Amino acid sequence: MQLSASDGALVVVDVQNGFCHPDGSLYAPGSEAAVDPVAALVDRAHEADVQVVFTRDVHPPEQFDDAHYYDEFDQWGEHVLEGSWDAEIVDEIDVRSDDHVVEKHTYDAFHQTELNGWLSARGIDDLAICGTLANVCVLHTAGSAGLRDYRPVLIEDAIGAIEEDHREYALDHVDWLFGEVATSEALTMGE
């Protein structure tokens, strides 16, 4: 896959302390294992002048108080609360001032965020997606991108999961239904 500086972006999903650090509220070793490959992709994107978009899963403590059905705290317990260390991007990732950071409150980075408008305004069509969790926020963000006519490509060796079969399911599902799968090695960046 060629990720162009003119119409491509690297999307880094939820590489946050709460998921990737051993002290995080929803720590998974598979998420921690994705940190170094993600950091390497971010460095490559910066060197190639490819836009980097970070998503941060952030929940106000009262977000699900009046929920009819959708309640992530029921599913996972309280996690990545607004203003917490849990919600911050891990220190190993180089987040620069010209990177775009999207705060999201659901699994889908496009749901009730500015992401679609931000990408459209910049003429971005191709998205290389990495981060965590494969079968949750990565999958739902990639699906939403595909439905909006972006080209979502999951970078398989830079995606974390709780269980390996969860990761394999997400990769197979994306590749079959609405996107593509590639390795970091197969991804080239820049013009």
Quick: pLDDT tens for 6-57: 999 999 999 999 999 999 999 999 999 999 999 999 999 999 999 999 999 9
Amino acid at site 13: V
Listed in sequence order, the residues at least 6 apart from 112 whose beta carbon sits closer than 8 Å to its beta carbon are 105, 106
β partners of residue 64: none
**What share of the chain in percent tops pLDDT 70?**
100
Homologous superfamily, domain 2-59+72-189: Isochorismatase-like (3.40.50.850)
Structural contact between residues 76 and 26, judged by C-beta atoms closer than 8 angstroms: yes
Confidence band (pLDDT; 50, 70, 90) for 67?
confident
Domain ranges of the chain: 2-59+72-189
In the chain, how many H helices and how many E strands? 6, 8
Residue 169: predicted pLDDT:
97
d(CA 146, CA 186): 21
Residue 178: predicted pLDDT:
95
Instruction: Write down the pTM of the prediction.
Output: 0.95
